[in-house]
Chains A and B, each alone.
Chain A
C-alpha cells in the first residue's frame, strides 16, 4: 500500500479547497444563466412574443381580378384566363438552377433565349424569390409538370390570371392592352398593387382610360413565412374588390365584319349610331395582337410591328390626321347655305379657275359645265367649290367646320385622340406669323391646304349631317353598374334647309347617275346609302403634269398614291348609321374603300344592332366569374 506523505495531504487539502471555490464559481454562473432566462422569458417575454409573431406573419397583397370589357350584347372583348405558369426558386434547386432548367426543358419547351432570360432574372433576384420560367402553359404541360414535381426540386407550379383578348387584332386600338408597370406609372400613384411583381396595368385604349375602374382593389393575405420568406401556409385572407366591367357600345359582330372587310389594307373605319353617337364598330387596320404586350413582346414581333409601312401600332381612327379632300365639300356647302348664298347659285366649270395669277384646277380636265350646289356635291366639282369658298370667305367655312365637328377632339373615351386642323385667319397668324391669303380659302374649299381631320371626326360629321343634331361619339355604355347616361343631342346651330340640300347632294353621289360613287351604290330598296367621296393628295402635282395630264394613281408607287376617303349614312330616308372610311394610298379607280363602305353599311342595316336589345350588366360579383375561383 502506498503511503501518503505530508505533501500528498497538503495537495489533497488544496484540491478540495479550490474545488469548492470553483464549485462556487460554477454556481454563480448557473445563477447568471437562470437570471438571464428570467429576464428574457418572464420580464421581456411579451415583447419577444410580439417579435416572433412579426417574424412569422407576413402580409401579402392579393391581386384582384381585372374587370372585363364587353360589347353591347355582353360578348367578352377582354377577359381573364387562367395563367398556368412555372416558377423556379433558386434556393430550393438542390443541384443548381442549370440542372433544374435542364430537367424542365425535357417536359416543356424552353427556348435558349427564354432560358437566358430566366438565368438573368435568377441572378438579379433574391434566392428565395420565385422567378417565372414559363407562362401561359397548356393544361397538358402544366399537368405533366405537376406529375413530375417530386423530381423537380425548386420548381413551383402556379396558377395566376392573365389578360386575354379573344378577338385579337381587330379591336386592338379600341381596347388597348395591359403591360408591366413602369417606374413612370408609379410616380404619382399610391396604389400598393403597382408594386406587386408581375402586376399589369392598362397602357392604351379603354384599358388605359378606365384602368382604375377595371383594376379593382387589392386584397390582403396574412401568411406564415419562414426565415427565407417562403410561404408556409395562409392564416387569413381579406378578399380584394374585383375590377368593374366596362360595357362598350361596340357590336362585336359588326366589328368583326368590318375587320374582315378591311383586311390588311392600311385603313381606318368607324360606324356610328346617328341618333346617339354610339360607336358600333371602330377599326384601324392592320391591327396587332394585344396579347403580345401582356406577356412581354418579343424583339422579332416588335420589329415587325414598328417597321411595317402600314403602321399597325398607330390608331388611325383617332390619331391619324388626313386632309379630308372632297369629303370636306358637304361642310363647305353647309357654310354656303348658312352664309346666305343663293340656293340657285351656279358656276360654269371649264376645268379650272383663274384666281390672281394662279390656275386652280378641277379634278375633271374638261370641266363639268353648268354646276349648282346639288350637282357640285354629286360630281364633286372643284371649280364650284373654289368659287363658293371665294364668295363666302374663310371665316364662314371655319365657323361651319367647327360647328359640324371638325377642328377639335370629339371627346371619345379613348386616350390619344388628335384634334386635326381647321385653318382660319387667327390660326394662320398664330401658327405661321403671316396673314391669310385668299388663294388659301380656295384650297380650303375643296378640303386641301391646311385642313386636317381624323376618321372619328369624319364619322361624327356624317352622323350630324344625317341627323342634324349635335351628336358626339361615345364608346362606353356602363362602367361597373353605373350607366354612362348623356343628354340627348340638341339641334346644331345650322339651318335645316342647309342639311336638306347637303343630304340631297350626298344622295345624288351614290344614287343618281353621274354621281362619283354611283357605281358602288346599295341597290337594295330601303337600304340605300348617301355618301361623299374624297381624295387627299399626298404629293405636289407640278404644272407640267396639269398640262400633260395628271398621273394615274395606279401608275405611282403605293407610298405616293393619294389617300381615298368616303363618308356615308344609311338608310337615306331615315338615317340610322353613319360611316367614315379612309384608305391610305388607296385612291384607285375601283374605289375599293367605297365598296367596303357599301358592304359594311348594308351589313349594319340588315343586322341593325341599334334595334336589338342590349345586354344589362348583372351584379359584378357573379358576372365576372372568369378565373375568379
Chain B
C-alpha cells in the first residue's frame, strides 16, 4: 500500500508543455458546434448580430479561455476543490429559494454583487466533482454497501430536491441522471439497480398525482396530444415539428427559415434553436450537427477510459454524459418525442451561464486528458 496521498507519473511537466497536451481537435469540434449556434442566433435575429449572436460569440471566447485555464490545472487540485465547491453550491442553491429572483415562473437566479449567477448550473459541475471524489475512495464492493450508497444518494438527492423546489424539472432530471450514471459506472451492483428501476415504474404515477406542478403536468398532457390544443399549450411542439419537418432534405437555406423569422417558433433562440437549424439546413445539416455532437461524446468517452485515476475517469465520463443528456433531452423535446422541459442545446442555445458552465466542464474533461497519467490513490479520500 502506498502511504503517499498523491503520486505523479510526470512531476516535471510545465504549463507550456501542457498546452501542447490539450486535445486541440476536440476544441476545434466545439468551435464548429458553437459556430452553428452563432449562425442560428444571427438568423433568428433576422440577420443581425444583435441581440443574440454577438454576445454569444464574446461569451464563447471567454468560455474558451476558461476551458484552457481549467485544463491546465492539475486534477489533484480539482480533487481538493470538489467538496468545498459542492458545499458552496449547495448553500447557494438553498439561498436561491430564500432570496432568488424570479425568471419565467421559477426562482433560479441569485445576485452576487453585480453578477447574477444560477447556482443550479454550478451544481451540475460540483455534483460531478464531489461524487467523483467520493467514489474515487470506494472499491466496486464498497459502492454497493448501504451506508456508502446512502451517502451518495444524499449527495445527489439534496441538490436535486433544492432544484426541484425552484422549480426546475429539467435540471433536476439532469442532476439525477448524472449522479445515477456515476454510481452505475463506479460499479453499483445490479442487485440495487434492478429494484430501483422497478421502484421508478411505481413512482411515476405517484409523482404525477402528488408531486408534479400543474405547469409540469400541462406540459406532459400537451405533449401526449399537441394537436388537441394547437393554439394554446401545444403550440410549441406543433410549431417546432412544422419547422423541422418543413426543412426537408436540404433545408430552406441560411436565413430563409420562415417559421423562426416570423416568430412561429417559441424560445427560438434558446431551447428551440435546433428547430431553426433543422429548418434552414434540412436533414443533411441536422445529421451533420448530430454527428459533430457524437464525435465530441466519443472523444469524451475515450478520454475517460484512458485516464489513470478513477477520479479523472469519473470526472471525464460525468462531464461527457452531462453533455449527452443535454443534447438528448433537448433534441427529443424539440422533435416532439418527450414533453417540453426547459433544457437548452449545449453550445448552440443562447445563454451566458449555460455556455460558461459547459465550457468549464469541457475544461475539466480536458484537464483529465492533459493529466491522464496522474494517479490518485483510492485511499486519499479523507484528505483535502
Give A contacts to B, CB under 8 Å: 1-3, 5, 7-8, 10-12, 14-16, 18-19, 22-23, 26-27, 29-30, 32-34, 36-38, 40-42, 44-49, 51-53, 55-56, 224-228, 232
Instruction: Note all chain B residues with C-beta closer than 8 A to A8.
Output: 139, 310, 378
Contact A15-B187, Cβ < 8 Å, known A40-B335, A56-B262: yes
Chain B residues numbered 329-371 whose CB sits less than 8 Å from any CB in chain A: 331-332, 335, 337
In the complex formed, the residue of A with least CB distance to B304 is: A19
Give, as a whole number of angstroms, the nearest-CB distance from A530 to chain B: 75
CB of B216 within 8 Å of the partner chain? no
Instruction: Note all chain A residues with C-beta closer than 8 A to B245.
Output: 40-41, 44-45, 47-49, 51-52
Contact A38-B140, Cβ < 8 Å, known A2-B377, A19-B185, A29-B328: no
Q: List 13 A-B contacts (CB under 8 A).
A: A2-B2, A2-B7, A7-B139, A8-B139, A15-B305, A16-B305, A19-B317, A26-B324, A40-B335, A41-B282, A42-B249, A45-B248, A227-B263
Instruction: Note all chain B residues with C-beta closer than 8 A to A5.
Output: 1, 378
Contact B141 A15 (CB under 8 A): no
Other-chain contact of A40, B244, B258, B293, B314 (Cβ < 8 Å): B244
> How long is the Cα–Cα vector from A34 to B140 in the complex, in angstroms?
36
Contact A19 B301 (CB under 8 A): yes
In the complex formed, the residue of A with least CB distance to B316 is: A19
**Contact count band on B:** 35 or more
Secondary structure call for the A interface: helix
Other-chain contact of A37, B140, B184, B324, B335 (Cβ < 8 Å): B335
Contact B258 A56 (CB under 8 A): yes
Instruction: Note all chain B residues with C-beta closer than 8 A to A232.
Output: 262
Instruction: Note all chain A residues with C-beta closer than 8 A to B278.
Output: 37, 40-41
Contact A14-B140, Cβ < 8 Å, known A48-B242, A51-B242: yes
User: When each residue 239-264 of chain B gets 1 if its CB lies under 8 Å from chain A and 0 otherwise, what string results?
Assistant: 10111111111000000001101111
Contact A1 B140 (CB under 8 A): no
Give, as a whole number of angstroms, the nearest-CB distance from A129 to chain B: 16
Considering the complex of A and B, which 5 residue pairs feature the smallest CB-CB distances, nearest first? A48-B245, A52-B246, A7-B139, A226-B262, A2-B7
In the complex formed, the residue of B with least CB distance to A4 is: B375
Contact B186 A55 (CB under 8 A): no
Instruction: Note all chain A residues with C-beta closer than 8 A to B243.
Output: 48, 52
> How long is the Cα–Cα vector from A5 to B378 in the complex, in angstroms?
10
> How long is the Cα–Cα vector from A53 to B252 in the complex, in angstroms?
12
Contact A45 B249 (CB under 8 A): yes
Contact B264 A227 (CB under 8 A): yes
User: When each residue 205-247 of chain B gets 1 if its CB lies under 8 Å from chain A and 0 otherwise, what string results?
Assistant: 0000000000000000000000000000000000101111111
Give, as a whole number of angstroms, the nearest-CB distance from B286 to chain A: 5
Contact B139 A10 (CB under 8 A): yes
Contact A226 B184 (CB under 8 A): no
Instruction: Note all chain B residues with C-beta closer than 8 A to A52.
Output: 242-243, 245-246, 258-259, 264, 279
Contact A23 B264 (CB under 8 A): no
User: When each residue 66-94 of chain B gets 1 if its CB lies under 8 Å from chain A and 0 otherwise, what string results?
Assistant: 00000000000000000000000000000
Chain B residues numbered 107-154 whose CB sits less than 8 Å from any CB in chain A: 139-141
Contact B263 A7 (CB under 8 A): no
> How long is the Cα–Cα vector from A3 to B321 in the complex, in angstroms?
29
Instruction: Note all chain A residues with C-beta closer than 8 A to B263.
Output: 226-228
CB of B45 within 8 Å of the partner chain? no
Give, as a whole number of angstroms, the nearest-CB distance from B177 to chain A: 11
Other-chain contact of B287, A2, A32, A37 (Cβ < 8 Å): A37
> How long is the Cα–Cα vector from A142 to B294 in the complex, in angstroms?
59
Instruction: Note all chain B residues with C-beta closer than 8 A to A15.
Output: 185-187, 304-305, 310, 313-314, 317
CB of B297 within 8 Å of the partner chain? yes
> How long is the Cα–Cα vector from A52 to B185 in the complex, in angstroms?
45
> How long is the Cα–Cα vector from A47 to B264 in the complex, in angstroms?
17
Other-chain contact of A33, B2, B185, B290 (Cβ < 8 Å): B290
Contact A26-B286, Cβ < 8 Å, known A2-B377, A40-B245, A45-B247: no
> How long is the Cα–Cα vector from A34 to B278 in the complex, in angstroms?
12
Instruction: Note all chain A residues with C-beta closer than 8 A to B324.
Output: 26, 29
Other-chain contact of A26, B185, B239, B249, B297 (Cβ < 8 Å): B297
Contact B264 A226 (CB under 8 A): yes
> How long is the Cα–Cα vector from A48 to B251 in the complex, in angstroms?
12
> How long is the Cα–Cα vector from A22 to B294 in the complex, in angstroms?
13
User: When each residue 270-292 of chain B gets 1 if its CB lies under 8 Å from chain A and 0 otherwise, what string results?
Assistant: 00000000110011001100100
Instruction: Note all chain A residues with C-beta closer than 8 A to B258.
Output: 52-53, 55-56, 224
Give, as a whole number of angstroms, the nearest-CB distance from A11 to chain B: 5
Instruction: Note all chain B residues with C-beta closer than 8 A to A14.
Output: 140, 185-187
Other-chain contact of A42, B248, B297, B298, B328 (Cβ < 8 Å): B248
Give, as a whole number of angstroms, the nearest-CB distance from A60 to chain B: 16
> How long is the Cα–Cα vector from A3 to B294 in the complex, in angstroms?
35
Instruction: Note all chain B residues with C-beta closer than 8 A to A45.
Output: 245-249, 283
> How long is the Cα–Cα vector from A16 to B282 in the complex, in angstroms?
37
> Interface centre among B140, B241, B249, B310, by most A CB within 10 Å?
B140
Contact A10 B185 (CB under 8 A): no
Give, as a whole number of angstroms, the nearest-CB distance from B383 to chain A: 14
User: When each residue 158-188 of chain B gets 1 if its CB lies under 8 Å from chain A and 0 otherwise, what string results?
Assistant: 0000000000000000000000010011110
Contact A41 B185 (CB under 8 A): no
Instruction: Note all chain A residues with C-beta closer than 8 A to B246.
Output: 45, 48-49, 51-53
Instruction: Note all chain B residues with C-beta closer than 8 A to A29.
Output: 324, 328
Give, as a whole number of angstroms, the nearest-CB distance from A508 to chain B: 82
Other-chain contact of A11, B139, B279, B283 (Cβ < 8 Å): B139
Contact A37-B286, Cβ < 8 Å, known A42-B248, A52-B246: yes
Instruction: Note all chain B residues with C-beta closer than 8 A to A22.
Output: 181, 184-185, 301, 317, 321
Contact A55-B310, Cβ < 8 Å, known A18-B185, A226-B262, A226-B264: no
